[in-house]
Amino acid sequence: MKTTDYTASDAREVLACSLAEAVAAALREDLVEQARATLIVSGGSTPVPFFKALSRQHLDWARVDVTLADERWVGEDSQDSNTRLVKQHLIAQEASAAVFHPLVNQADSPEEGVSTLEAQMAQLSWPASVVVLGMGGDGHTASLFPDSPQLAYGLETDKLLLAVRSPSVPQARISFSASALSNARRHFLHVTGDEKRSVFADAFGGNDVKALPIRAFMSQALSLYWAP
């Protein structure tokens, strides 16, 4: 029997498609019972194949509100913009009918723009149907960074959003809080590679959320989507 080389990138592609099917099924399920469904996705580099696969899924996208778990406070034309990433790869194909709510506005800083965005995000259908989280090598998720002066607030506040600064990233950020992101029916963690596998294993081995903020999402159901 001929066997083909099954590379790590193939595994990541299969993972992305599998996650897209699970997220689409969750949205279809919730849209049976409710007028609109909220989907919260993360930015960064990992999600691109997932965004592309999800954009091809058939569902009533016009009734889906999409937003970001966090955003860099940069213009949409910036290579660092998660808004640009989502508009390019997710709000396309079948999903072009979805309503995307950027997590950034014209204010000069996230501190100045957060209250307006907070009011806008409060209008979405909560609890969100799905939150898809990423994770950095330091165990951050969304923009809840271990070295951020705003981390404690982000873990404790019942506000939806917070402005974030962190020495480990160059851009000012805005992020949903841990409580806002926890207020969802389903949570998925999409990570790849051995470094993140070991970080997630470390997260299981302790409970100091400030050391590894991903732990804030490990006291409830969390579907792990990992590939080498």
Ligand X SMILES: O=C(O)[C@H](O)[C@@H](O)[C@H](O)[C@H](O)COP(=O)(O)O
How many chain residues touch ligand X (CB under 6 A)? 14
Residue whose CB is less far from ligand X, 42 or 177: 42
Query: Is the CA virtual torsion 130, 135, 141, 142 positive or negative?
Result: negative
Cα–Cα dist 22/45, whole Å: 20
Query: 62-81 mask for ligand X (x: CB under 6 A)?
Result: -------xx-----------
CB of 183 to ligand X, least distance (A): 18
Q: From residue 190, how far is each of 133, 163, 164 by CA, in Å?
A: 6, 24, 22
CB of 28 to ligand X, least distance (A): 25
Nearest to 138 by CA among 225, 40, 210: 210
Cα–Cα dist 57/108, whole Å: 37
Residue whose CB is less far from ligand X, 59 or 216: 216
Query: 111-150 mask for ligand X (x: CB under 6 A)?
Result: -----------------------xxx---xxx--------
Secondary structure of 183-225 in HEC code, one letter for each residue: CEEEEEEEEECHHHHHHHHHHHCCCCCCCCHHHHHCCCCCEEE
Q: Is residue 43 involved in binding ligand X (CB under 6 A)?
A: yes
Using the CB atoms, write b or e for 136-151: b if 16+ within 10 Å.
Answer: beebbbbbbbbebebb
CB of 218 to ligand X, least distance (A): 16
Residue whose CB is less far from ligand X, 61 or 145: 145
Q: Which of 19, 20, 42, 161 binds ligand X (CB under 6 A)?
A: 42
Residue whose CB is less far from ligand X, 39 or 142: 142
Binding positions for ligand X, 81-110, rule CB under 6 A: 82
List residues binding ligand X (CB under 6 A). 42-46, 69-70, 82, 134-136, 140-142
